[in-house]
């Protein structure tokens, strides 16, 4: 076992039962001209965490531990995108509409791809998810069971939406969850700060948070 210097208290990391889940580090969210920027957001804070996420991925790969990537995207016919989600946002900038990197958040379009610096390796699990949480309408739970994982380290975007939703889903299923603080980000700094506080409130009610270096030190 390794001990991670974490909040609200130390996290006992089991190197034989831990995996990394990288949430939605996609071009549509991180790059200029993508869906995120089209909604009026500054993408630079999200771009700034790429080195930390890359370091975390490299550390898990070096330790021989599973790395799982998710992408929020939909079928080309949008059959998995309910109207309540499809019709949000300004006209012409909604899911499925044409964008600078292809149809917005549609599977197979360039904007739905993970940014090149974080590209999955052959054999790493990549899950396309139609919802905010990575368990909804995906085989994630079955894959985690197959891999023998009971602890999950999380990175990715955005902290308060897809990352937090997936952590809460995982927590409800009995997984111990640890979020890498410097490897997650939001378009809104106050949202990230509030989410970190919520996650670790009341004795880690959802999970723990820690810096990438502390996680990798315990993993090694």
Active site residues: 24, 129, 162
Sequence-distant (≥ 6) Cβ neighbours of residue 211 within 8 angstroms: 5, 180, 181, 182
Nearest to 101 by CA among 39, 24, 34: 34
Sequence-distant (≥ 6) Cβ neighbours of residue 13 within 8 angstroms: 1, 2, 3, 4, 151, 178, 215, 218, 219
Beta bridge partners of 70: 23, 127
Q: At what angle are helices 50-62 and 212-219 packed, to 10 degrees?
A: 0
Cα gap 135→166, rounded to integer Å: 7
Residue that has been written with the tokens 């139609």 in this structure? 130
Number of H helices, E strands in the chain: 9, 10
Identify the helix (H) or strand (E) that includes residue 46: helix 44-47
């Amino acid at each position: 076992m390794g001990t991670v210097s974490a909040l609200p208290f130390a996290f006992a990391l089991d190197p034989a039962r831990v995996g990394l889940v990288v949430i939605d580090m996609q071009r549509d969210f991180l790059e200029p001209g993508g869906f995120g920027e089209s909604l009026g957001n500054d993408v630079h804070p999200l771009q700034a965490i790429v080195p930390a996420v890359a370091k975390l991925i490299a550390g898990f790969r070096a330790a021989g531990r599973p790395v799982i990537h998710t992408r929020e995207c939909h079928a080309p016919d949008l059959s998995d995108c309910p109207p309540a989600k499809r019709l949000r946002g300004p006209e012409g900038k909604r899911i499925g509409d044409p964008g600078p990197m292809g149809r917005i958040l549609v599977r197979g379009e360039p904007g739905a791809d993970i940014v090149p610096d974080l590209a999955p390796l052959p054999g790493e699990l990549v899950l396309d998810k139609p919802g905010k949480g990575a368990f909804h309408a995906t085989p994630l739970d079955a894959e985690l069971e197959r891999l023998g994982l009971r602890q999950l380290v999380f990175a990715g975007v955005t902290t308060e939406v897809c990352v937090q939703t997936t952590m809460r889903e995982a927590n409800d299923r009995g997984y111990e969850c640890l979020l890498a603080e410097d490897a997650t980000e939001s378009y809104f700094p106050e949202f990230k700060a509030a989410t970190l506080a919520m996650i670790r409130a009341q004795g880690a009610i959802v999970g723990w948070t820690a810096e990438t270096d502390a996680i990798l030190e315990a993993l090694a």
